[in-house]
Amino acid sequence: MARIAFRLATATVGIVLLAGYLAAAFLVFDALRVLWSLRPGTAELVGLLVVATLGSAYLSYRFGTARLLAAVDADPIPRERAPELHRRLDALLTRMDVERPVLYVADVRAPNAFAVGGSGGGALVVDRSLFRLLPPRELEAILAHELAHLETNDGLAAAIVDGLVRTVVGILTLATLPALLALSGLAGGSAWIRGRPGDRSGAFARLHRLLAGGLAAGFVLVTLLARTRSRRREFAADDRAAEVTGDPLALARALRRIDRTADPVWPFAPLSTHRDADDPLERWLSTHPPTAERIDRLRRRAEAERPRRGREGWTGVPVR
């Protein structure tokens, strides 16, 4: 008798659960159908989505700069406080196509520097510890690297890519939401009706996992593509800094010093540095290539340039 009562109870719960999920799936589907019927022409719809995505990315990029500066409690560095730093920045700007950024100093719990904004004016933030850690030539190389990001508007491009990724993932999630709800209800409801509430081995549960896994895999794939682009931009900024300063080894030594000193748990680590990791997934998801790889590229560049110009511009200090 108790067993029959239990089965009746679980069957009732299963039916209610199934009905609730199917009703929710139908409501979402009907709402999407209504929205689709009200859509403009295909060209207008695509244009609207592109404009909305770009506008959202630009606003996030603009307001994000102010939020980031406030988050690290950055203070402007007036010329009278650091005349040599400003002089080196001025010299770099004469060789680069970028407007003068505002220099800031901050305590970000790790030796680092990062740039926010674009070629039309931005901000360059330097952690206080870099002034103690790096000699002037190496600090100049770090400034050149960050100016290279401003010169090519890497921050805006990254915001646009991120906005496109979020838009695509959002549209796909909305489009598949009715199916996800229906499959979840069918999987959970049928399990309760069978008297096995925790059983998720049925066909509906497998279909739900397959669809949800496909969405997750798509998100991971586009994220990996975006991170791959970010790592390429780091190499490009290294090359540009080496070109502008004429001293690839200065940047290589600076990266080595920062890598040896930096704490990998500080909140803004992805902005400027990457601690080498053995986990392939961590390396794929990183916004920066391994520091050792960046240093090796700069050393090879220095070796390739040395026969062409002799020892001019080379400090004679090896990378250790």
Residues belonging to the active site: 146
SS3 23: helix
SS3 32: helix
- For CA atoms 133, 135, 136, 137, the dihedral sign is negative
Reference 256, options 155, 111, 87; nearest CA is 111
64 to each of 71, 77, 147, how far by Cα in Å?
Answer: 10, 21, 19
Contact 130, 142 (CB under 8 A): yes
Q: Say which amino acid occupies 116.
A: V
Contact 275, 262 (CB under 8 A): yes
Reference 98, options 113, 120, 78; nearest CA is 120
The alpha carbon of 254 is separated from its chain's Cα centroid by a whole number of angstroms, namely: 23
Angle between helices 2-37 and 154-193 (to 10 degrees): 140
Contact 287, 240 (CB under 8 A): no
Residue 273's φ and ψ, nearest 5 degrees, are -130, 165
Q: What is the dihedral of CA 156, 48, 229, 254, to 10 degrees?
A: 10
